[in-house]
């Protein structure tokens, strides 16, 4: 029972853990026996900033298939508070230096990397090398090369990889996908998605520092617009062109403020996206041959809202997207069910981001994309 304290042992038992995996310390893999599928998987959050504290940790309290088993933080002051609040044993608390020791901790099945974007690749790769399944926050990394390195590390280690695309587990997204698939109003001809907010706080924050963020609005909010453009058409784009706007260069010194992009899809549909750190925007509009569907708000944590051209509301009971997302990934690990946000999806979006930046650099030139079905999960 190495590295499992009496307290953790008892906690996991009350969480429905099946005995055998515990006693053997077996790695969790697909094709588990029925008993092992019952147990909750342990998640370690790496980086205890606002998203971990405000969304992920609370979601893990109510999740059915996973729970908060460990933390990795560079801020010693946070350790005690998190240990008390979430009943985390001392032996499941790590810092960035001793993080690799997590390999020896059988209570941690999944490492969830919630750090500034330029740190994703390093910590995802270290997590994979430690034999842990990986969730990587969006954007997956700051370059396609880094996405490839993460995917390769996970494949080599034989662990599962997912990107923190919470909307891929949200019923509103499913409903748009269903309408597109079933051609509820005919074929999609145009999709438009906007995602942004007004940033005025601390100009030294990491999101405005390219070395840490890899880019501005596009890598932060723009990935939501890319995601919803793609699920709003049901296909990957075949080309993209883009423009950048800057109205507050004194604040956005290092990163993009606002970007618009146009995408062409293989079925002839046109896509438009707007993303900004200087405008509030939170909407998806899908125009079919004989009607339309809209999610507004679309990209926030919910409750979301939607409607269609025939006067109907799109409405689902509000549930934490983060809880649904982490439960879906835990189920994927336990049973081999669908991974709704695989690494290839994160890499695909990074290919599109790089093409958008290239287009801007080349004065709005159309950049061809050769993505096939890469990252499409319906
Ligand atoms: P944050 O600034 O609130 O937290 C960042 C954490 O990283 C902090 O705990 C900080 O101490 C730590 N850190 C380590 N090294 C750092 C460094 N050199 N500079 C700054 N911080 C450092 O950020 P956040 O909002 O929690 O975002 C973290 C990640 O989560 C980002 O990749 C972001 O894109 C992603 N995110 C995703 C969603 C979503 O809806 N999926 C929402 C918010 C954030």
Could you identify the atom of ligand 1 that is nearest to the CA of residue 220? 34
**pLDDT-derived band at 267, boundaries 50, 70, 90:** confident
Domains delineated in the chain: 6-164 (3.40.50.720), 167-318+343-368 (3.30.360.10)
Better-scored residue on pLDDT, 72 or 38: 72
Spatial distance between the Cα atoms of 259 and 245, rounded to a whole number of angstroms: 6
Q: What's the mean per-residue pLDDT of the chain? A: 92
Average pLDDT over residues 271-295: 98
Cα of 62 from ligand 1 centre, angstroms: 22
221 CA distance to ligand 1 centroid (A)? Answer: 14
313 lines ligand 1 (CB under 6 A): no
Whether 25 shows a pLDDT value over 50: the answer reads no
At 33 the pLDDT is 64
Percent of the chain whose predicted confidence (pLDDT) is above 70 = 90
Stretch 337-352: mean pLDDT, rounded?
Answer: 98
Q: Determine the distance separating the centroid of ligand 1 and the alpha carbon of 236, expressed in angstroms.
A: 28
Helix or strand holding residue 276 (H, E): strand 270-276
For a ligand 1 pocket test, name from 54, 116, 139 the mutation site with the most ligand atoms within 8 angstroms of its C-beta.
Answer: 116
Reading the block at residue 168, the tokens are 């891929």
Atom of ligand 1 nearest to the CA of 48: 9
Q: How confident is the model at residue 26 (pLDDT cuts 50, 70, 90)?
A: very low
CA distance 345 to 351: 10
What integer is the mean pLDDT of 350-378? Answer: 97
Ligand 1 geometric centre to CA of 41 (Å) = 23
213-236 burial: b if 16+ Cβ within 10 Å, else e: bbbbbbbbbbbbbbbbbbbbbbbb
- What is the Å distance from ligand 1's center to 283 Cα? 24
d(CA 296, CA 301): 12
Residue 346 parent element (H or E): helix 343-361
**Dihedral angle at the C-alpha atoms of 111, 349, 203, 115, nearest 10 degrees?**
10
Atom 43 of ligand 1, nearest CA residue: 51
End-to-end Cα distance, the chain = 41
- Greatest Cα pair distance, the chain, in angstroms, is 62
Residue 47 Cβ inside 6 Å of ligand 1? The answer reads yes
Q: In which order are the strands placed within the sheet that holds 188-198?
A: 313-314, 306-308, 291-295, 278-288, 188-198, 270-276, 258-264, 239-245, 367-368
């Amino acid at each position: 029972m190495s590295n499992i304290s009496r307290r953790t042992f008892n906690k996991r038992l009350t969480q429905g853990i099946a005995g055998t995996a515990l006693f053997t310390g077996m790695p969790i893999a697909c094709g588990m026996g029925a008993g092992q599928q019952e147990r909750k998987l342990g998640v370690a959050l790496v980086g205890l900033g606002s998203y971990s504290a405000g969304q992920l940790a609370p979601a893990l309290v109510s999740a059915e298939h996973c729970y908060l088993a460990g933390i990795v933080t560079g801020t010693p002051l946070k350790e005690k508070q998190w240990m008390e609040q979430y009943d985390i044993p001392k032996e499941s608390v790590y810092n960035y230096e001793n993080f690799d020791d997590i390999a020896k901790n059988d209570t941690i099945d999944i490492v969830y990397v919630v750090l500034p974007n330029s740190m994703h690749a390093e910590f995802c790769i270290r997590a994979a090398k430690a034999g842990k399944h990986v969730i990587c926050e969006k954007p997956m990394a700051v370059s396609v090369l880094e996405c490839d390195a993460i995917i390769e590390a996970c494949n080599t280690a034989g662990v599962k990889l997912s990107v923190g695309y919470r909307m891929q587990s949200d019923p509103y997204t499913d409903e748009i996908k269903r309408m597109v698939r079933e051609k509820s109003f005919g074929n999609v001809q145009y999709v438009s998605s906007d995602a942004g907010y007004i940033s005025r706080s601390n100009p030294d924050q990491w999101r405005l520092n390219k070395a840490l963020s890899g880019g501005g609005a596009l890598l932060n909010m723009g990935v939501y617009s890319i995601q919803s453009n793609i699920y709003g058409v049901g296909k990957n784009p075949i080309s993209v062109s883009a423009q950048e706007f800057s109205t507050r260069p004194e604040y956005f010194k290092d990163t993009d403020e606002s970007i618009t992009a146009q995408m062409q899809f293989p079925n002839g549909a046109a896509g438009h996206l707007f993303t900004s750190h200087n405008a509030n925007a939170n909407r998806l509009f899908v125009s079919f041959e004989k009607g339309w569907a809209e999610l507004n708000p679309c990209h926030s944590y919910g409750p979301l809202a939607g409607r269609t051209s025939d006067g109907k509301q799109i409405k689902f009971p509000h549930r934490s997207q983060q809880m649904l997302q982490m439960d879906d990934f835990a189920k994927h690990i336990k049973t081999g069910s669908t991974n709704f946000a695989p690494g290839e999806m994160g890499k695909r979006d990074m290919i599109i981001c790089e093409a958008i930046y290239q287009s801007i650099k080349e004065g709005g030139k159309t950049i061809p994309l050769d993505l096939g079905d890469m990252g499409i999960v319906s």
